[in-house]
């Protein structure tokens, strides 16, 4: 079959719209039928359609960080079985970390779509299972301690379920009924994809459909290349450090990326990223490559849907095995998602040297997980409270301030948990405060977004774990903008004493009744010299309480005084203190800004 003549634009657009709609339907199908809340609330899943060779036709997210993961898994399955070894009615399953690059909870199901005896496409779904066995909580240092590993298997062979395989899986997970519910949901989602692709084949024929895939790639690639061409040729680098790997506490883990632009090609070189670590913050090659692809998608075709192979073609990723984001067995991977977020920010930081207006300052880069394990004093019921997704600051851009209180780049349509829901479910917890964190945004001509403060008290004894990164390396500013405040974890004792920690990872610390856990998420970095931010905007920030009077002076060179001076402007009331007016000291402001 020769694929040369592109389809007419009408058929091409109708196919495009249908492919987006199919992965949307697979997605809502999975969300609707999944049993565990990590899938339907945290949206930790990805579904997709792939061509005969495993290239991405359309992915429905879910989890943005998994944008390239499904395609690599489908390709690995094709390589393993060969096209001839895959038959109608087969459903292939794996969670091999060497293939999907992340923690073992990510189960990947793949189904071939046949037409006239030939494979025309694959439908695939990844979803996070609540539990896959392994040690409960605590520290892991190898993959075997993290649970059940499923190599490449056919869970269905020619339409027949392998019941023994199912029993083996059920015997190795803590909540088998949840797992089986999720398994059914994932299979239902890919069968939806199969049915709807089948309808397209019936209507348009294999040849037109396949040409439609290739037209999509060509258009996606053309749009992405146009965007890369706007970036001046050159090599740009950026570096930072992660706090530690959770085991070798206080030993920073260096991250270094190098981006080379040559015409319409862009290479992201991750050779400078630290070697894999003893602790559980490793991820596999697939995650490292996906991180680079996510950064590329942001930079080039952010609004083009469906997300497909073509739009990612112009990026080449250099990543030798054995790095912390290309770790190999027996690396532990439970917290796989944290480091790749900082890789993405480093790519933006590197390119800020070339095209500051095309990029964005650093963000808080963590999902802020804490868990509290205890027994409710009133009912005697055991509980595990997972707190996360409080939202933190995003970086400023050339044309806008950073967004406040927004989920990190690893996640997309993930929501926080309402305080009222948390307290109804965990009656011995009392949230004291959930607020924006003043002064946490990086100062700049455009200010970085604000992080949040989440302060929760336990009224009974409990044990605390936290898994918060980037408490040392603050989200950076670009183009002369300043850094934000980084993430922070602390405790407040019943006598109101503050307990600080060297990092954000607390392992099974007992809490007394009345103790409070405070998670403060970082802000976003600023863009441009803060002393060039218009005074009126600084004053508006002070009035609203986003920026304190002291910070206005120190970072922005805007001086406020309590006593009106001769010729001082109108009184300004700070939100937190309605009774004491402040006044702009114009002369001092001019002096500070001139300096």
**Separation CA 55–CA 213 (nearest Å):** 9
Q: Is 490 helix (H, G, I), strand (E, B) or coil?
A: strand
Selected binder of other proteins within 21, 166, 491, 592 (CB under 8 A): 21
Q: What part of residues 447-506 is at the interface with other proteins (CB under 8 A)?
A: 452, 455
To other proteins, the closest distance from the beta carbon of 563 in angstroms equals: 22
Q: Shortest distance, CB of residue 238 to other proteins, whole angstroms?
A: 16
CB of 81 to other proteins, least distance (A): 28
* DSSP-derived 3-state class of residue 397: strand
As measured in angstroms, the least distance from the Cβ of 312 to other proteins is 11
- Give the residue, chosen from 3, 32, 171, 493, that forms a contact with other proteins under the rule CB under 8 A: 32
What phi and psi, each to the nearest 5 degrees, are found at residue 488?
Answer: -155, 140
Three-class DSSP category at 143: helix
Among 3, 17, 168, 550, binds other proteins (CB under 8 A): 17
Q: Which of 135, 536, 544, 565 binds other proteins (CB under 8 A)?
A: 544
* Number of residues forming the site for other proteins (CB under 8 A): 82
Q: Binding residue for other proteins (CB under 8 A) from 543, 564, 586, 588?
A: 543
Does position 13 interact with other proteins (CB under 8 A)? The reply is: yes
Q: Which of 30, 49, 57, 61 lies at the binding interface for other proteins (CB under 8 A)?
A: 61
Strands 265-269 and 315-318: parallel
The residue range among 22-30, 87-95, 240-248, 276-284 that interacts with other proteins, by the rule CB under 8 A, is 22-30
Q: With respect to other proteins, which residue has the nearer C-beta, 171 or 421?
A: 421
DSSP for 260-281, written as a single string: EEETTEEEEE-TTSPBP-SSS-
CA 308 to chain centre: 19
At its nearest, how many Å lie between other proteins and the CB of residue 454? Answer: 10
Residue number, 297 or 334, with CB nearest to other proteins: 297
Burial 39-64 (b: 16+ CB within 10 A, else e): bbebbbbbbbbbbbebbbbbbbbbbb
Selected from 307, 479, 558, 584, the binder of other proteins by CB under 8 A is 307
Give yes or no for a contact between 545 and 582, defined as CB atoms under 8 angstroms apart.
Answer: no
* CA-wise closest residue to 396 among 478, 294, 300, 298: 478
Shortest distance (Å) from residue 490 CB to other proteins? 17
Q: How far apart are CA 430 and CA 454, in angstroms?
A: 11
Q: CB 459 → other proteins: shortest distance, Å?
A: 10
Q: Which is nearer to other proteins, 279 or 391 (CB)?
A: 391
Going by C-alpha positions, the residue among 412, 377, 394 that lies closest to residue 449 is 394
SS3 of 154-223: the string is EEEECCEECHHHHHHHHHCCCCHHHHHHHHHHHHHHHHHHHHHHHHHHHHHHHHHHHHHHHHHHHHHHHH
Q: What is the largest CA-CA distance in the chain?
A: 88
Q: How far is CA 554 from CA 156, 521, 548, in A?
A: 65, 22, 10
Site for other proteins in 104-143 (CB under 8 A): none
**Nearer to other proteins (CB atom), residue 81 or residue 298:** 298
State the nearest-atom distance from the C-beta of 27 to other proteins, in Å. Answer: 9
Residues 309-348 that bind other proteins (CB under 8 A): none
Q: How far is the CB of 373 from other proteins (least distance, A)?
A: 16
User: How many residues comprise the chain?
Assistant: 595
Q: Which of 164, 146, 64 is nearest to 105 (CA)?
A: 146
**Window 210 to 239, contacts with other proteins (CB under 8 A):** 218-219, 222-223, 226
CB of 126 to other proteins, least distance (A): 15
CA distance 72 to 97: 12
- By CB under 8 A, what part of segment 381-440 binds other proteins? 389-391, 397, 400, 403-407, 411-416, 418-421, 423-425, 427, 430-436
Q: How far apart are CA 358 and CA 351, in angstroms?
A: 8
State in Å, rounded, how far the first CA of the chain is from the last one: 70
Q: Could you tell me which residues come within 8 angstroms of residue 226 by beta carbon, excluding any fewer than 6 positions away? A: 264
**Residues 160-199 vs other proteins: string with x where CB under 8 A?**
-----------------x---x--xx--x---x-------
Give, as ranges, the residues between 267 and 286 that touch other proteins (CB under 8 A). none
With respect to other proteins, which residue has the nearer C-beta, 168 or 435?
A: 435
Work out which of 3, 28, 254, 571 binds other proteins, going by CB under 8 A.
28
Which residues from 557-586 bind other proteins, rule CB under 8 A? 573, 575, 578
- Within 345-384, the residues that bind other proteins by CB under 8 A are 359-360
């Amino acid at each position: 079959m020769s694929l040369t003549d592109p389809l007419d634009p009408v058929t091409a657009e109708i196919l495009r719209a249908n492919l987006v709609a199919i992965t949307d339907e697979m997605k809502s199908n999975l969300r609707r039928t999944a049993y565990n809340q990590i899938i339907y609330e945290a949206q930790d899943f990805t579904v997709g359609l792939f061509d005969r060779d495993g290239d991405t036709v359309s992915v429905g997210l879910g989890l943005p960080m998994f944008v390239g993961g499904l395609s690599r898994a489908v390709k690995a399955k094709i390589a393993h079985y060969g096209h001839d070894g895959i038959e109608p009615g087969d459903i292939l399953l794996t969670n091999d970390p060497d293939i999907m690059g992340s923690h073992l909870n990510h189960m990947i199901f793949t189904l071939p779509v046949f037409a006239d005896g030939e494979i025309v496409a694959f439908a695939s779904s990844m979803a996070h299972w609540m539990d896959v066995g392994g040690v409960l909580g605590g520290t892991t240092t190898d993959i075997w301690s993290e649970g059940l590993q499923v190599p490449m298997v056919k869970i269905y062979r020619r339409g027949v379920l392998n019941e023994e395989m199912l029993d083996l899986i059920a015997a190795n997970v803590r909540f088998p009924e949840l797992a089986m519910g999720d398994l059914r949901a994932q299979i239902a989602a890919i069968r939806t994809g199969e049915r709807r692709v089948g309808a397209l084949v019936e209507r348009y024929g294999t040849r037109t459909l396949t040409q439609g895939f290739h037209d999509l790639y060509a258009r996606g690639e053309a749009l992405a290349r146009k965007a890369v061409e706007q970036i001046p040729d050159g090599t740009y680098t950026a570096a930072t450090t992660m706090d530690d790997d959770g085991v070798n506490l206080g030993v920073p883990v260096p991250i270094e990326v190098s981006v080379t632009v040559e015409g319409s090609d862009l290479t992201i070189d991750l050779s400078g990223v630290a070697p894999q670590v003893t602790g559980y913050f490793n991820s596999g090659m697939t995650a490292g490559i996906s991180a680079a692809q996510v950064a590329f998608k942001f930079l080039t075709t952010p609004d083009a849907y469906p997300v497909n192979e073509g739009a990612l073609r112009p990026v080449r990723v250099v990543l030798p095995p054995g790095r912390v984001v290309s770790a190999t067995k027996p690396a532990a991977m439970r917290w796989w998602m944290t480091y790749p977020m900082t890789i993405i920010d480093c790519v933006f930081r590197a390119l800020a040297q070339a095209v500051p207006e095309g990029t964005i300052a650093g963000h808080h880069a963590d999902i802020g997980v804490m868990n509290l394990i205890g027994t409710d004093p009133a009912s005697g019921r055991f509980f595990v409270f997972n707190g996360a997704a409080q939202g933190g600051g995003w970086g400023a851009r050339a044309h806008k301030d950073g967004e406040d209180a927004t989920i990190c780049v690893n996640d997309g349509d993930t929501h926080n948990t309402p305080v009222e829901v948390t307290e109804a479910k965990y009656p011995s917890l009392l949230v004291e405060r959930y607020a924006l964190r003043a002064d946490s945004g990086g100062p700049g001509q455009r200010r970085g977004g604000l992080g949040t403060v989440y302060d929760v008290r336990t009224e009974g004894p409990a044990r605390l774990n936290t898994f918060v990164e980037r408490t040392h390396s603050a989200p950076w500013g670009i183009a002369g903008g300043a850094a934000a405040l980084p993430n922070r974890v602390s405790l407040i004792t019943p006598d109101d004493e503050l307990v600080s920690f060297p990092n954000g990872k607390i392992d099974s610390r007992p809490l007394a009744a009345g103790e409070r856990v405070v998670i403060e998420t970082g802000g976003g970095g600023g863009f441009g010299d803060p002393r060039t931010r218009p005074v009126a905007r600084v004053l508006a920030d002070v009035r609203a309480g986003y920026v304190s009077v002291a910070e206005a002076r120190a970072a922005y060179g805007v001086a406020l005084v309590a006593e009106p001076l001769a010729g001082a402007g109108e009184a300004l009331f700070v939100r937190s203190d309605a009774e004491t007016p402040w006044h702009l000291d114009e002369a001092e402001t001019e002096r500070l800004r001139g300096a």
